[in-house]
């Protein structure tokens, strides 16, 4: 069991926001790689002689996301995380744990499926990558909505936990 702490560490906070930025970049820039792959097919895309810069950037950002996620998961097990607020509705606590778990899983599996599709030229991995992307969009949306709900409706200052090491 990972330890329960008084707050996230500075490195955990930096990793959270660095990965959030990378994911934003991947969502915004994914049209380039989707267009490129649909034009020439996943089985030849990575061996093409003219790979556009934005397509290369998507692959590199995906590899970086995976590396940062490995560091993040290790820190989560070694350093732990703070407990959710005591007065939080048990149903909301369960939803938060489930959302975080799904986000962790999707953030690991999305780059893995992307790498298998790109470097392994595997069509099934390409399909899985697109499904995982949709899962990520849904759960990142839910996660941001929950953070805003805590901030502006419950007003319990939860966002501070991801801003300042505790």
The residues of the shown chain that bind ligand HEM, judged by CB under 6 A, are: 16, 19-20, 23, 76, 81-82, 84, 100, 103-104, 107, 140, 143-144, 147, 158-159, 161-162
Q: Give 42 or 107: the residue with its C-beta nearer to ligand HEM.
A: 107
Smallest gap, in angstroms, from Cβ of residue 166 to ligand HEM?
Answer: 10
The single-letter DSSP state of residue 5 is E
Name every residue whose Cβ is closer than 8 Å to that of residue 114 and which is 6 or more positions away in sequence: 59, 62, 125, 129
Q: Give 124 or 165: the residue with its C-beta nearer to ligand HEM.
A: 165
Smallest gap, in angstroms, from Cβ of residue 98 to ligand HEM?
Answer: 11
Q: Give 115 or 146: the residue with its C-beta nearer to ligand HEM.
A: 146
Smallest gap, in angstroms, from Cβ of residue 87 to ligand HEM?
Answer: 13
Phi, psi of 134 (to 5 degrees): -65, -40
Smallest gap, in angstroms, from Cβ of residue 95 to ligand HEM?
Answer: 11
Q: How many angstroms separate the CA atoms of 158 and 38, rounded?
A: 42
Q: How many angstroms separate the CA atoms of 14 and 76, rounded?
A: 13
Q: How many angstroms separate the CA atoms of 69 and 63, rounded?
A: 10
């Amino acid at each position: 069991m990972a330890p329960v702490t008084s707050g996230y560490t500075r490195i955990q906070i930096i990793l959270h926001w660095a990965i959030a930025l990378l994911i934003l970049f991947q969502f915004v820039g994914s049209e380039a790689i989707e267009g490129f792959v649909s034009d020439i097919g996943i089985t030849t895309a990575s061996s093409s002689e003219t790979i556009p810069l934005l397509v290369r950037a998507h692959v590199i950002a995906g590899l970086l996301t995976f590396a940062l996620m490995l560091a993040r998961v290790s820190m989560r097990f070694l350093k732990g995380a703070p407990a959710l607020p005591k007065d939080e509705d048990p149903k909301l606590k369960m939803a938060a744990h489930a959302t975080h778990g799904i986000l962790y899983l999707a953030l690991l599996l999305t780059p893995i499926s992307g790498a298998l599709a790109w470097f392994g030229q595997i069509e099934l991995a390409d399909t899985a990558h697109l499904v995982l992307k949709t899962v990520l969009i849904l759960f990142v949306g839910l996660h941001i909505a929950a953070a805003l709900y805590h901030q502006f409706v419950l007003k319990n200052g939860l966002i501070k936990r991801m801003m300042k090491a505790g």
